[in-house]
């Protein structure tokens, strides 16, 4: 059984003044835009609308349903599919690819969803398997399906330029012809970054004709060394391209979003002299790479990503935010009056209210894994769900990992491990796991329970306690400000014993709350995995 409970009011957590001020400002803004009385005219929402790592979001509307996807990197399943009826409450319902397409080797970035002529398409970026030991070229590829949740038929790469091709977007020109827009990865080689467009055939799975250059980065100012993430809408006689510039990711990011326009798709593009129209403020940093979606009422909203404005935010990653796009009668589009990402705003619809996940619980009673789980570098094919437990039969010496995105920098995670054999060499545990070879965690192995820290692929045990024939062990990981980890264990579920002092785990960016297993033993079974937000 999978269970998710919700909370209707945000809590202040952590010691930092920023987080306390963030909650206070949110509350004041809720009052300013209509209060919290519950009447339809007073409904509001707050950002993020998708908490946790959900970068480069793409969103489409089909009837009354909204579907979104996001970069998954090297975490599988590749490209999560989320569903919503109101743009502010989202649920993961599946993924585009359960397994890596045969032509690719990783870096599943920037999916672009499209719905055309009754079919669903995803134009996506991945790194081509160019041969053993080689980095591989970034390519734009396409897959199609009859339903949003698939199954998707992959048609492989559309374009693989020498410097790399990525960040695809689908659009029909002024004559109705289908086109692909993408970025050439010149910045990866200290070259100018060009945006290209080329016509697609009627199946939308092959390019025809010749590519056309649209425009490039200026090489100075807010765009700096790169422009990317094109999203184009047609309004009146104009095509408007929303695009992002500068460094997207990590602790030195300075991303922002601008807009350009042209009378025709392949014509001369004019950049807004007031760019960027969306940049950092005191609450959010590095906003960009979004997609505009139009509601049935005709309102335009931008779903995009940003980091919270604090150092701990990088452990969570880039979260999905939503803001209205305004179109003044004279001039360019604006977002939140140029004030940067909003904290709170008027709700899009008058039915329903925004809810927040407070707790994730999995008793492993279903026959399939919960769709929120992710695994680094491909699926764990030897997972076994049986009688309310999960085991990693046959994992051998390799490390098997499954996890979920943390939705806060402050949380507690619990797991029960049954059938612990003190004589076995298998290692089973709980961790905050980053695919960049960094992690912290607590594990049971060889009759001991130990906390540990991994830096650049090397593990170091921090505290150890001996077990005496325990058949069941409960593990707990309490996380404070994303960088302080207190580990504990219990053999009876009542008395908890701390494992040494809190462990510092800085630079664990984009971590998942993960279950881990390795070793030749096959007896240990995971039971009752729970993550509770503070």
**pLDDT tens string 332-361:** 999 999 999 999 998 888 767 899 889 999
pTM of the shown model: 0.91
Express as a percent the part of the chain with pLDDT over 70: 90
User: What single string gives the DSSP state of each residue in 64-133?
Assistant: TEEEEE---BTEESEEEEEEESSSSS-EEEEEEESS--TTEEEEEEEEEEEEETTEEEEEEEEEE--STT
What is the spatial distance between Cα 41 and Cα 49, in angstroms, rounded to a whole number?
20
Give the number of other Cβ atoms within 10 Å of residue 151's Cβ: 13
Q: Which of 236-240, 395-399, 496-500, 521-525 has the lowest mean pLDDT?
A: 395-399
pLDDT surpasses 90 at 38 = no
Pick the more confident residue, 381 or 315.
Answer: 315
pLDDT at 346: 87
Check: CB of residue 362 under 8 Å from CB of residue 370. Answer: yes
Where are the chain's structural domains?
33-354, 358-533
Tokens of residue 109, six digits: 């970035």
- The domain over range 358-533 is classified in CATH as 2.60.120.200: yes
- The angle subtended at Cα 407 by Cα 256 and Cα 363, nearest 5°, is 150
> Residue 11: which pLDDT band, with cuts at 50, 70 and 90?
very low
Check: CB of residue 479 under 8 Å from CB of residue 432. Answer: yes
For 464, the 3-state DSSP assignment is strand
Check: CB of residue 486 under 8 Å from CB of residue 534. Answer: no
The tens digit of pLDDT for each residue in 411-434 reads 999 999 998 887 788 899 999 998
Q: Under 8 Å CB-to-CB from 236, ≥6 apart: which residues?
A: none
Check: CB of residue 481 under 8 Å from CB of residue 410. Answer: yes
Strands 512-518 and 400-404: antiparallel
Sheet with 238-245, edge to edge strand ranges? 227-235, 238-245, 256-262, 270-271
- For the domain made up of 33-354, give the CATH fold: Tachylectin-2; Chain A (2.115.10)
What is the spatial distance between Cα 71 and Cα 122, in angstroms, rounded to a whole number?
12
Q: Under 8 Å CB-to-CB from 332, ≥6 apart: which residues?
A: 259, 261, 272, 274, 277
pLDDT at 513: 96
What is the spatial distance between Cα 199 and Cα 179, in angstroms, rounded to a whole number?
4
């Amino acid at each position: 059984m999978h269970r998710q409970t919700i909370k209707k009011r945000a809590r202040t957590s952590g010691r930092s003044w920023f987080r306390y001020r963030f909650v206070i400002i949110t509350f004041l803004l809720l009052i300013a835009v209509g209060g919290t009385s519950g009447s339809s005219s007073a409904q509001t929402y707050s950002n993020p609308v998708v908490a946790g790592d959900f970068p480069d979001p793409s969103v489409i509307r089909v009837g009354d349903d909204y579907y979104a996807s996001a970069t998954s990197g090297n975490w599988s399943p590749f490209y999560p599919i989320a569903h919503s009826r109101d743009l502010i409450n989202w649920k993961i319902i599946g993924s585009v690819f359960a397994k890596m397409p045969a032509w690719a080797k990783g870096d599943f970035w920037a999916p672009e969803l499209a719905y055309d002529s009754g079919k669903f398409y995803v134009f996506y970026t991945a790194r081509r398997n160019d041969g053993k030991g080689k980095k591989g070229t970034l390519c734009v590829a396409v897959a199609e399906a009859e339903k949003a949740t698939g199954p998707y038929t992959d048609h492989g790469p559309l374009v693989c330029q020498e410097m790399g091709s990525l960040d695809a977007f689908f659009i029909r020109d002024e004559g109705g012809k289908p086109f692909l827009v993408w970025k050439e990865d010149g910045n990866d080689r200290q070259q100018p970054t060009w945006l290209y467009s080329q016509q697609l055939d009627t199946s939308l799975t092959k390019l025809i004709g010749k590519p056309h250059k649209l425009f490039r980065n200026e090489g100075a100012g807010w765009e700096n060394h790169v422009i990317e993430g094109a999203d184009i809408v047609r309004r009146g006689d104009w095509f408007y391209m929303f695009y992002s510039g500068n460094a997207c990711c990590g602790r030195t990011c300075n991303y922002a979003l601008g807009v350009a326009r042209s009378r025709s798709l392949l014509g001369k593009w004019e950049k807004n002299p007031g760019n960027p129209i969306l940049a950092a403020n005191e609450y959010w940093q590095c906003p960009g790479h979004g997609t505009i979606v139009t509601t049935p009422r005709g309102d335009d909203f931008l779903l995009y990503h940003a980091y919270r404005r604090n150092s701990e935010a990088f452990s969570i990653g880039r979260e999905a935010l939503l803001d209205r796009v305004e179109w003044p009668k004279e001039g360019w589009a604006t977002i939140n009056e140029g004030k940067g990402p909003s904290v709170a705003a008027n709700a899009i619809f008058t039915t329903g209210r925004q809810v927040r996940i407070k707790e994730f619980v999995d008793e492993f009673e279903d026959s399939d894994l919960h769709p929120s789980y992710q695994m680094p570098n491909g699926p764990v094919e030897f997972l076994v769900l049986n009688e309310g437990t999960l085991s990693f039969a046959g994992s051998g010496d390799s490390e098997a990992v499954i996890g979920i995105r943390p939705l806060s920098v402050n949380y507690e995670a619990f797991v029960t491990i049954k059938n612990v054999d003190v004589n076995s060499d298998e290692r089973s545990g709980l961790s905050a796991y980053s695919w960049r070879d960094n992690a912290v965690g607590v594990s049971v192995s060889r009759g001991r329970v130990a906390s540990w820290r991994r830096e650049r692929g090397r593990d170091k045990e921090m505290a150890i306690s001996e077990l005496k024939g325990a058949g069941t062990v409960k593990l707990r990981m309490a996380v404070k400000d994303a960088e302080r980890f207190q580990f504990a264990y219990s053999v009876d579920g009542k008395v908890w014993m701390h494992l040494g002092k809190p462990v510092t785990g800085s630079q664990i960016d984009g971590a998942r709350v993960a279950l881990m297993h390795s070793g030749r033993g096959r007896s240990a079974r995971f039971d009752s995995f729970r993550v509770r937000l503070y």
